[in-house]
Chain A
Amino acid sequence: MVDIVVNGSTFNVEKRGRSNGEIELVVNGKPVVVNRVSSFAADSSTQLLRIGQRLLLCKVADQLSEDSIVTWINDKRLLVELSTGQEADSRERASLVNTGPISVEAPMAGRIVDVRVSLGKEVQEGQSLIILEAMKMENEIAAPRNGRVQEVYVHVGSVVKTGDKLLVLD
């Protein structure tokens, strides 16, 4: 059983078995029988599948990482991520145990129009720290958790790029 994330939505896929070139899958609890059209000759990144009366031309458009690709399924372009439940769990656990200083980074490029905290100040999770202007909009950057402001790297008027450190909470 494996979780598959397609364009941001999660589906559950189970492989039941295979016989005479037929693959039996269970998608979100519903059986789906797939036949590969073997007479279809193409490169290794393309295959033709028949599911019921429907033909699906499946292409790998782009490989993004070890477990995510972009595919064309007929005229639909889908971002597909494969993952197992365990992986997400461990990621979640990792984020919980992280209690050291945390740096707050610019989520997008832009210009700092307000710095609402100063060195040494205690802040609450969700409290507004910095206002970043991008694309004519003002964006609030909030504290990811409670903490004390240890470093401030920017001032009003600073121009920042995505990922630039703005400040550090201890």
Chain B
Amino acid sequence: MFRKILIANRGEIALRIMRTCRRLGVNTVAIYSEPDVTSKHVFYADEAYSIGPGEPSQSYLNIPKIVEVGRKSGAEGVHPGYGFLAESPSLAAAVEDAGMVFVGPRAKVLSRIASKLEAKKRVSENGVPTIPGSTKELESVEQAEQEAKRIGYPVLIKAAYGGGGRGMRVIQKPAELRRMIEIASTEAKSGFGRSGLYIEKYLDSPRHIEVQVLCGSRGKNLHLGERECSMQRRYQKILEETPSPVVTPDERRRLCRLALKAASTFGYENAGTVEFVRSKAGEYYYMELNKRIQVEHLITELVTRVDIVEQQLRISSGEGLGLSQDEIVPAGWAINCRINAEDPEMGFAPSPGRVTKYLAPTPQWVRVDTALYDGCNVPEFYDSLIAKLATYGSDRMRAIEWMRFALEEMIVEGVKTTIPVHKTIMYHPSFVKGEYHTQFLEKILSSWKPTSEVSLEEIAAAYLTAASALSQKLVEQTGRTGTTGWKGSLKSTESISKGPLYIEGL
């Protein structure tokens, strides 16, 4: 096992990786940008180094700087977390060249899978079903028109080097094609630095289901079951659960076999996730292989009781995968809600700023992965994910019920969050039945308003508490008996001057 590793990330995922390190006796090295100097991952690490200003390009994406800190601190490995440089062959190569180990696939394996289109082709040749579409990057609009005609509208335009819905467009009819290709190409260029596009058949109301794999050295590959990720907004996952409510045991065996086959196509190493789409008819198509630990890995940990970060460290340090397929027996159900600093009432606008109050939910069967604390700062430079709230139940309904309590108890003030949206989802009859797909959430959100679950008794109590506190304050401030200031409606004042107010003040 490593003696010391550098975590090339921030916030909740850096903290989550460090926790496993601490448990295993591995010393941790944190890096941080200037606005992150008060981020919790910095305090949690054994050593912490500043690496530059808030702009990601000057800090968390600065490969030479990260490698320099790694070497200087004597780290033996570099864990990239997710996002930032997690799937970067350049970081992996730089780390290897500096004599350290990249906790993930080696650089040459990462480069093999860098192009989504190329990867899709190879997986398909290996006998894994893929969505019908172009096998080469688009070279002209005319070629796109031909391809679209061949596979049939509607079609999807995708960035060959992209992700997260950027550079992706649905095209319903031929007339839209030219304009959409221009938009997608510009987005891909600005988002990923490469404008390459390809075209695919667009599936209506599909489900997004993925399989967690762990690939050791010498071809020892195993899977940890699937995750259902169909609750999305603009191709961004909002909520995940495992197992999937629609996958039957037979289907699962087939799906997991396909996932391992896809991973072995590339000689994949370390933890990875094979994403599939499932059509309405129940057919699975390979979508992509994610070469990192994922945001939603925690629900797989809850049902399998496997610490995925520990296994990553074991594989990379050469100790080897400490598990066999027979030992992995998933039980029960787990759900994860992504809590983002966004304002759902303002079209999910980002809501960075100071968190004036944070209280973690404490019902049974809850796991919260977060770097939040009272008074912490949510910088505007980074992803809006501020917490992952997961619950576990012996069955799906129990996991949902615990989640309802947990969402009620979780308090985040100072920034707006997606907690109210999750409350709506947890009570939605279709979600409760497990019937949803990737376009489901946007339909709910078109007419969404936060619901208040406050009873009339609680309103009465809140009113009396507020009225006495506020009128008392008024007396303290002005020395008067409150007859003037108090908004007409709260006039009765005789006892206000007599000291403790409570509700007599009214």
With contacts A2-B490, A15-B506, A44-B500 taken as known, whether A139 is within 8 angstroms of B350 at the C-beta atoms is yes
**Among B352, B464, B474, B487, contact of A58 (Cβ-Cβ < 8 Å):** B464
User: A11 and B459: CB pair below 8 A?
Assistant: yes
- Type the 1/0 row for A43-78, where 1 means its CB is closer than 8 Å to any CB of B: 011010101101010111011001111110111111
A44 to B499, CA, bound (A): 10
B residues in contact with A59, CB < 8 Å: 465
User: B349 and A9: CB pair below 8 A?
Assistant: no
B residues in contact with A7, CB < 8 Å: 452, 454
Assess whether B74 is interfacial by the CB under 8 Å rule: no
Assess whether A102 is interfacial by the CB under 8 Å rule: no
B residues in contact with A136, CB < 8 Å: 382-384
B residues in contact with A54, CB < 8 Å: 457
Q: Which residue of A lies closest to B187 (CB)?
A: A138
User: B454 and A6: CB pair below 8 A?
Assistant: yes
Assess whether A109 is interfacial by the CB under 8 Å rule: yes
**Among A25, A78, A109, contact of B454 (Cβ-Cβ < 8 Å):** A78
A51 to B341, CA, bound (A): 36
Closest-CB distance, A25 to chain B (whole angstroms): 5
Q: How many residues of A are counted as interface, with CB atoms below 8 angstroms from the partner's CB atoms? A: 60
Residues of B in contact with A, size category: 35 or more
B residues in contact with A6, CB < 8 Å: 452, 454, 458-459, 462
Assess whether B409 is interfacial by the CB under 8 Å rule: yes
Most chain A Cβ neighbours within 10 Å, of B357, B408, B464, B487: B464
**Among A8, A49, A70, A134, contact of B452 (Cβ-Cβ < 8 Å):** A8
A residues in contact with B470, CB < 8 Å: 63, 66-67, 69, 82
User: B382 and A80: CB pair below 8 A?
Assistant: no
A residues in contact with B459, CB < 8 Å: 4, 6, 11, 13, 27-28
Closest-CB distance, B234 to chain A (whole angstroms): 10
**Among A82, A109, A135, contact of B487 (Cβ-Cβ < 8 Å):** A82
Closest-CB distance, B446 to chain A (whole angstroms): 18
With contacts A2-B490, A44-B472, A108-B349 taken as known, whether A77 is within 8 angstroms of B411 at the C-beta atoms is yes
Q: Which residue of B lies closest to A34 (CB)?
A: B460
Assess whether A84 is interfacial by the CB under 8 Å rule: yes
A34 to B500, CA, bound (A): 18
**Among B460, B467, B468, B490, contact of A32 (Cβ-Cβ < 8 Å):** B460
A28 to B384, CA, bound (A): 37
Most chain A Cβ neighbours within 10 Å, of B342, B380, B470, B490: B380
Q: Which A1-49 residues have a C-beta within 8 angstroms of B?
A: 1-2, 4, 6-9, 11, 13, 15, 18, 23, 25, 27-28, 30, 32, 34, 36, 44-45, 47, 49
Known: A11-B459, A69-B469. 11 other contacts (CB 8 A): A25-B464, A28-B456, A28-B459, A47-B503, A58-B462, A62-B357, A82-B490, A84-B488, A87-B487, A108-B349, A135-B383
Subset of 10 A-B contacts with CB under 8 Å: A2-B489, A11-B459, A28-B459, A49-B461, A51-B457, A52-B457, A58-B461, A77-B411, A80-B466, A162-B353
The 10 closest A-B pairs by CB, nearest first: A135-B350, A109-B380, A9-B452, A80-B466, A58-B465, A2-B489, A32-B460, A135-B384, A51-B457, A134-B380
- Listed in ascending order, the chain B residues whose CB lies under 8 Å from chain A are 341-342, 348-353, 357, 359, 380-384, 408-409, 411, 413, 450, 452, 454, 456-470, 472-474, 487-490, 500-503, 506
